[in-house]
Structure 1
């Protein structure tokens, strides 16, 4: 069987990794410890929100007030939402190694083998390659193994009503997500008091925020329910649908190799738009950037993407509109490239196992 062959390809690497760090698997599943959390109770601004939402949703006001009053303020959530300390060096090689590693590859191969039909159907329907769907779910939740241990209600109330100072205030965003969470629970019959997710309130195999679940999640197995928590088939279809809704273009590569301009002024000009594709292949050439042959033939806009490597020289790629689409899932070039690299490695293992 293909899965057996794929597993054998990785077995020696996995044994070596286990001997090197036998506690690694336990570390990956560990949920951050949380200090004692205070219950919100009937705080005025939260109760006013409850009354407004009850009127909008047609919920029993007393019931909604009671639900929200049971939310807890989580200091750990407030800490985790903050950006890293100033001066923290980014390191693409280290970031990649967190995701393209033996245990996640083994889980990804098993996931692909178990859901090959759904992945192929999603690719055919939305034009998103199966390898990228598998890569994204692997990066997000280790194929459903790490979906978050925070009560979503607590996380969203904490960030909506006590967003920490020291960075741009996003409390309005999280209040809107709390409203979307209530709508989701009402529509799908979910228990808002028990659902768990990330520190930011993302849920399920693909870590959709409530608004993304409401807008982009689909019932891909046609069982009458949209379930991103217990149904990986719905997760597969929903990831593909999300990317299609955010500009994915079937058949277009995600990126090309590129040698950056020697002229630092021209290099800075190409880097200025960050991950937003803004220059043609001809403009890359005019600035002194050397694209691969395929990149020189690209008809759309490109972005010069810099991936820092700590104290070593940065890596560069020329990102297309599809690379940008991947960043709509998570606003990070490191994240998008990790998804690509994990998916590409999974495909390579599968192709190797299929060879006679």
Structure 2
């Protein structure tokens, strides 16, 4: 899932995209009666009504967004702390071995490939239209939706309001970027409530990941507001129930994050051991920083069509446990895939799954394994 989160633009607009219904002009809103009473809740899942910092945030949010203060306080006040969520946000302990082959096997496997073929066949027209309109290949879109939610089968069952409130007010201090991440989730909570208010939808209803990501593509609220599109022409955006809206929205997201139509995601690479400077090559991480010539000067020789590539590249290292790592030369489009999840392993899994589904359908892909 979009769910794995990176910094997103917080889109502030009076015409914000509704979460699940056509936007209506808001007035005073009653708080939905679905929220449980504090008295019946266990102590470890307390409501945020008792937190002065949460109530101050509610007042500030209402003023910034011109929302009904009583409604904002009531909704945030009935958000519930989820004690398991902060633990899930902590990074793996230092020294934890990475294994690309094992990671790949979690996603490029028969169940997911068969589901991907069914999804592609069922939505072939929408996928073809998305590629034509946005320039994002169908197999990349299929790969994203397969890795994120197994084509809608696993969209998460945690109340989005609770997840976002927990991370906004109780983000784990042990995280190395705790202050940045907490600020990010406060922005996502603000965007979520703005979307719900302006669409007159129930903020207690949406379910998603432990990080607050929603729907088939696991969009965070700011991504929903900025990149989601009504691709099926229904008059509203539904990333939970409309495969067409999910397909178009993923393509929109990639174009918004620098996808270049027609450019491969990566090229094969081999090393010249006599001049190899891995430290220098890996220093920029996944950010494309080297020309083909400057990579060659440091001992990394780009092969195939990449030998004539004129843009910037990044040397992508994929560890394989105790075995030798795998390497590819990533383009700006590889970097664009990592904007969905800041991980080269994730990006390669998306690419590989999309290729595998295309192959199972008898299709072809421009991207090499």
1:274 and 2:285 equivalent?
yes
Q: Deviations over 1:116-171 (max 9, x none)?
A: 00000000011100000000110011100111111111111111111111112121
- Decide whether the 8 Å contact of 1:42 with 1:65 is kept in 2: no
Aligned to 2:231: 220
- Decide whether the 8 Å contact of 1:260 with 1:316 is kept in 2: no
1:248 and 2:227 equivalent?
no
Query: Which secondary structure state, in structure 2, belongs to the residue aligned with residue 41 of structure 1?
Result: helix
Residue 115 of structure 1 is aligned with which of 123, 129, 149?
Answer: 123
Question: Which residues in structure 2 correspond to 1:69-84 (within 5 Å)?
Answer: 69-84=77-92
- Decide whether the 8 Å contact of 1:188 with 1:225 is kept in 2: no
Stretch of structure 1 that moved more, 48-57 or 97-106: 48-57
**Where do 5+ consecutive residues of structure 2 fail to align?**
1-41, 365-369
Question: Which residues in structure 2 correspond to 1:146-185 (within 5 Å)?
Answer: 146-167=154-175, 168-169=177-178, 170-185=181-196
Q: Shift in Å at residue 187 of structure 1?
A: 3.1
Q: Deviations over 1:83-131 (max 9, x none)?
A: 0112111110010000001111111011000100000000001110000
- Decide whether the 8 Å contact of 2:276 with 2:299 is kept in 1: no
Give the structure-2-normalised TM-score. 0.84
Q: Deviations over 1:205-225 (max 9, x none)?
A: 001110011011111111111
Query: Which secondary structure state, in structure 2, belongs to the residue aligned with residue 345 of structure 1?
Result: helix
Aligned to 1:198: 209
Partners in 2 of 1:80 and 1:98 — Cα distance? 19
Q: Shift in Å at residue 275 of structure 1?
A: 0.6
Partners in 2 of 1:155 and 1:38 — Cα distance? 13
Residue 87 of structure 1 is aligned with which of 74, 77, 95?
Answer: 95
Query: Which secondary structure state, in structure 2, belongs to the residue aligned with residue 284 of structure 1?
Result: helix
Aligned to 1:236: 247
Partners in 1 of 2:118 and 2:299 — Cα distance? 44
Aligned to 1:344: 355
Q: Deviations over 1:272-330 (max 9, x none)?
A: 11111111111122222222121101111111000000111100000001000000111
Q: Shift in Å at residue 263 of structure 1?
A: 4.9
Aligned to 2:304: 293
Query: Which structure has more helix as a fraction of its residues?
Result: 1
Using a 3 Å threshold, how does the CA distance of structure 1 residues 352 and 157 change in structure 2: closer, same or farther? closer
Partners in 2 of 1:251 and 1:196 — Cα distance? 36
Give the structure-1-normalised TM-score. 0.87
Partners in 2 of 1:203 and 1:264 — Cα distance? 47
Q: Deviations over 1:218-240 (max 9, x none)?
A: 11111111111111111100100
Partners in 2 of 1:55 and 1:269 — Cα distance? 49
- Residues matched between the structures, number: 320
The CA RMSD over aligned residues, in Å, is: 1.7
